[in-house]
């Protein structure tokens, strides 16, 4: 009976050591990923402000598409393009 308990204690100890090793490796990867995300966030601010003119142009085009003038032009075009 003592032999079985000793074998079980050794197996549980090895499993716990494997769990600790895996946890340490995972935490190292999480730390590395967090540093990469922080670097990306700090450097993305300057690059995203360069896109402001493009975003403004897209907003103006979408505003023109949803406005009444575009709908009127589409209706007039539809009247003249019918055969």
State the pLDDT at residue 83: 52
pLDDT in tens, 26-48: 999 999 999 999 998 888 877 77
For every residue of the chain, which 3-state class applies, written as one string? CHHHHHHHHHHHHHHHHHHHHHHHHHHHHHHHHHHHHHHHHHHHHHHHHCCHHHHHHHHHHHHHHHCHHHHHHHHHHHHHHCC
Q: What is the pTM of this model?
A: 0.50
Q: Which of 1-5, 18-22, 79-83 has the lowest mean pLDDT?
A: 79-83
């Amino acid at each position: 009976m003592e032999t079985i308990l000793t074998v079980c204690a050794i197996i549980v100890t090895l499993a716990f050591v494997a769990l600790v090793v895996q946890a340490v490796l995972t935490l190292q990867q999480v730390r590395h990923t967090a540093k990469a995300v922080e670097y990306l966030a700090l450097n993305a601010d300057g690059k995203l402000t360069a896109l402001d003119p493009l975003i403004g142009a897209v907003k103006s085009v979408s505003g023109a598409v949803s406005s009444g003038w575009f709908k009127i032009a589409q209706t007039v075009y539809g009247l003249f393009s019918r055969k």
